[in-house]
Amino acid sequence: MGIAALRSFGSLAFAGAAFVLAPAAHAQSDPTEDLPSVGSAGLIDAAKDCSDAHDGATVDLALLDERGWTELTITDDEGEELDLPVHFFNRAEGDPLIVVPLAEGAPAVCVATGIVAEGAAAVPAIQTAFADAFGEGMVEGEQAAYNHDGKMIATNFEEDEEQGFVAQVAVLEQQSGD
């Protein structure tokens, strides 16, 4: 898999998650408005849980629950639960928000996201921790991809004007021939 493929797959995963998150912007309780602060250990743990829950075609939400992740309820302005094509999970302090979009016809993806308080300076250490956990990956700048049990774990970091330096880790099916 070349770095161009990494960009393509990573962009697809993150764009797909953003697409199904758009309806949540109209929710009273939008979990993406206040992302948790995370470090490499929380991101790696979430990536492992997402990878274990991902069977190539779907993400097993019950397995996330078994691993201690709690599904969040998203409500509208009247407090009514919204039926969105996305599930949000959190666990404990230091753990990222897990987002599982369920858009029909879209590839299964499990995304862990959170704020890295140390900013861009933390990226090399996080990438080293991911390489220690998943083996050497393909790294270019603030993007990287690692293989784990037949799945691709793509990492991306970007500055958000409102929240700070955001880490995104997407687990998706490894494409054949990669």
| Residue range 159-177: mean pLDDT, rounded | 87
128 pLDDT above the threshold of 50: yes
Residue 178 resides in a domain: no
1 pLDDT above the threshold of 60: no
What's the pLDDT band for 158 if we cut at 50, 70, 90? very high
- HSE (side-chain half, CA atoms, 13 Å) at 157: 25
Residue 59 resides in a domain: yes
What range defines the domain where residue 94 resides?
A: 3-173
Residue 38 resides in a domain: yes
| Other C-beta atoms lying within 10 Å of the C-beta of residue 28 | 12
CA distances to 33, 38, 111, 126 from 44, in Å? 22, 10, 12, 9
Q: What is the pLDDT of residues 33-83, one digit of tens each?
A: 889 999 999 999 999 999 999 998 899 999 999 999 999 988 888 888 888
Residue 120 resides in a domain: yes
The predicted pLDDT at position 29 comes to 65
Kindly report which listed range (21-25, 66-70, 85-89, 113-117) carries the lowest average pLDDT score.
21-25
**Domains of the chain: total:** 1
Radius of gyration of the chain (CA): 15
pTM for this entry: 0.84
Output the six-digit token pair for 130: 């991911």
The predicted pLDDT at position 106 comes to 80
CA 84 to chain centroid, in Å, comes to 17
